[in-house]
Amino acid sequence: MAGLWVPVRIGVSLYRQWVVPMEIAEAGSRGLELWWRWLQAGIVPRLRATVPLPHRPTHPELRVGWHVTPLGCMFVAVTGLGISHLMFRRPGSSDVQQREQLACRCPDVRIEIDEYATAEALRPLLTGDPRHPLVLDVVASVFEARVWNSLITVPPGRTVTYAQLAEQIGQPTAGRAVGRAVGANPVALLIPCHRVVPRAGGIGSYRWGVARKRRLLAVESRFQDPARPS
């Protein structure tokens, strides 16, 4: 089912909202239907990681936008090559705060608001169209890049522990360092840190809220239950 981008003003900020059929846009777990469709399309993001150099901005410019989507309000930053940041809005946070946080993480980088550019970058996620490549253009240490690349290989419907991730990258004693790398993930959803759970059980914490993590994992669990209606 098709949708379109329309301008929506919330408070003092102009958003580009993805308008979808009413049955998809309903609140609650059904609001995650587009995430389910994207997963079904089997689109695997390609990670392009650049190691930061001292006193030199990795990206000369970032274009940012805020978007109201069925997955929640998202703050997106893109380079000329792909998505560099994808963050959910936290309760009580403001547009200015998220932009300031990005500026702290990316000093000396020019940041421009451009919802058209960020909407185009999100299009593969929200349409599930495999014809559009999904590139993540991130700044990362060599270790972080290894952890994030390993995370991308964790399929929907599955979870992994920090210890298992450490084993996957060939450093079984680096569980804590892996935890820090997971926590530093700049691209929510697409580098699926929500699939990391504690070895002791439960779903653990999540930067963007435990309730959101629980909903995402519930939708993805349908991959383990093919008899469940989609």
Q: Taken in order 98, 38, 182, 221, is the CA torsion positive or negative?
A: positive
For 175-181, the CB contacts below 8 A with 24+ separation are 177/143, 178/147, 181/143, 181/144, 181/147, 181/148
Mean pLDDT of 122-149: 83
The answer to whether the pTM exceeds 0.75 is yes
Q: Considering only residues 153 and 32, tell me which one the structure prediction assigns the higher pLDDT.
A: 153
- Could you tell me which residue, 7 or 77, shows the higher pLDDT? 77
**88: closest CA among 176, 180, 213?**
213
Is 173 a residue whose pLDDT tops 90?
Answer: yes
Average pLDDT over residues 112-133: 78
Cα–Cα distance, 104 to 230 (Å, whole number): 42
More confident residue, 133 or 58: 133
Higher pLDDT, 153 or 219: 153
> 3-state DSSP helix/strand/coil percent for the chain, to nearest 5?
40, 25, 40
In CATH, 4-224 is 3.40.250.10: no
- Give Cα separations from 57 to 103, 145, 168 (angstroms): 12, 18, 31
- Please give the average per-residue pLDDT across 68-82, as a whole number: 83
Query: At 119, is the pLDDT very low, low, confident or very high (cuts 50, 70, 90)?
Result: confident
> Active-site residue numbers?
193
pLDDT for 30 equals 45
- Of the pLDDT bands very low, low, confident and very high (cuts 50, 70, 90), residue 130 is low
Instruction: Please determine, for residue 156, whether its predicted confidence score (pLDDT) is greater than 60.
Output: yes
